[in-house]
Structure 1
């Protein structure tokens, strides 16, 4: 007959060995910059980074989080400057995996430098500005090199016409 002590020793080993097997198996699919998960947000698409609403407000999306380094202020200023809009019209959405691009971890004060590089937030804002200039050019019937941007209205060099982001 097996003693209670022997039963508990053997069943404890069985439980540990069964629960540890999932830790020893590699993940089935390794995706994302740090083998985390697949993201449905395509960082090569402009609307993954910037959205301009019909009322002229701008929403910018970033996969980086502000942990007290002033990243949210810097990123908001970056977008406002690139789009030539007042900073109060820019809303920054950070680290929302359902809507922001996956930019990997937030560490080592790399959030702002990462978004000032190409293929990130700065490039998206500059691309959005050029797209808006092209739309204003068509709307006003002026060449893009004849347009200026100041506070969101796009003005022709003749000052006869203007167009806003709305």
Structure 2
């Protein structure tokens, strides 16, 4: 008579305990991935709006304002009312015949609606004299604007626009 080897209750409990420990360590990491992806998407969206506004100011030779409404997370692009010492206009090629096309700049959006997950923490010093939060972009590639704090998906960030490169830098705050 051959003796059959079977698993004992203790061996089964040890295996279940090991599987429980592995899942307890790994599961929280997997659950954070969608939140992290959503946060990165939100930050990329903000960077894209600032990059498009800066590129548009350089391409058109016109100073632009990007106005933030912190209640609705709506960013509005408008021509700057401040006059610059010299307005630059891009050179247009001469049209030789009536069949040739004139170049057209790619039109950008005039308003951008950011994610609902963003909560802006605007301070009184962030507002200009008209009571608005405004970032300005200039044809030479420079920019100006306030430093803003915001939170998204339970994380806090600081938005700083580089005055020389007009790049939107977003730093995670503790």
TM-score after normalising by structure 1: 0.30
Larger strand share, 1 or 2: 2
More helix by share: 1
Structure with the greater alpha carbon radius of gyration: 2
- TM-score of the pair, normalised by structure 2: 0.29
